[in-house]
């Protein structure tokens, strides 16, 4: 698990300040063999303060209410971790996003290969 909280500064060129964001990543796995682990992974993100521009709360065009363009998303999916050559590993994670507000909706795919080296 990893938790973070982001504070944003104002963009001096546009006078736009994005709101603060709480972000939580999670992962849990089960060891199938000495070299293979299967599990779940995902994340949760929630914007906790409004976006502001020119001292006013931002709203999407065509909306009657200032919603502050506060983003929110929850994602979950499978993960696979494989160890090879004794110390090297490969990892692939996929997550589908749900409950998305004020941000693009989609799916995420991560792939990572780690090969240690010595000096």
Domain map (residue ranges) of the chain: 2-114
pLDDT at 63: 63
Q: Do residues 39 and 29 lie in contact, with contact meaning Cβ atoms separated by under 8 Å?
A: yes
pLDDT at 25: 96
User: Which residue ranges of the chain lie beneath pLDDT 50?
Assistant: none
pLDDT at 112: 96
pLDDT at 6: 97
Show Cβ contacts of residue 48 under 8 Å, excluding neighbours closer than 6 positions: 19, 20, 21, 22, 70
């Amino acid at each position: 698990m990893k938790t973070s909280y982001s504070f944003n500064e104002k963009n001096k060129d546009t006078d736009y300040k994005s709101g603060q964001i709480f972000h939580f990543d999670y992962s849990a796995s089960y060891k199938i063999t000495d070299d293979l682990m299967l599990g779940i992974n995902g994340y949760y993100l929630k914007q906790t303060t409004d976006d502001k521009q020119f001292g006013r709360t931002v709203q999407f065009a065509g909306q009657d209410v200032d919603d502050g363009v506060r983003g929110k998303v929850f994602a979950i999916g499978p993960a696979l971790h494989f160890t090879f050559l004794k110390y090297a590993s490969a990892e692939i994670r996929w997550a589908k996003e749900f409950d998305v507000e004020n941000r693009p909706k989609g799916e995420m795919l991560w792939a990572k290969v780690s090969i240690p080296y010595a000096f």
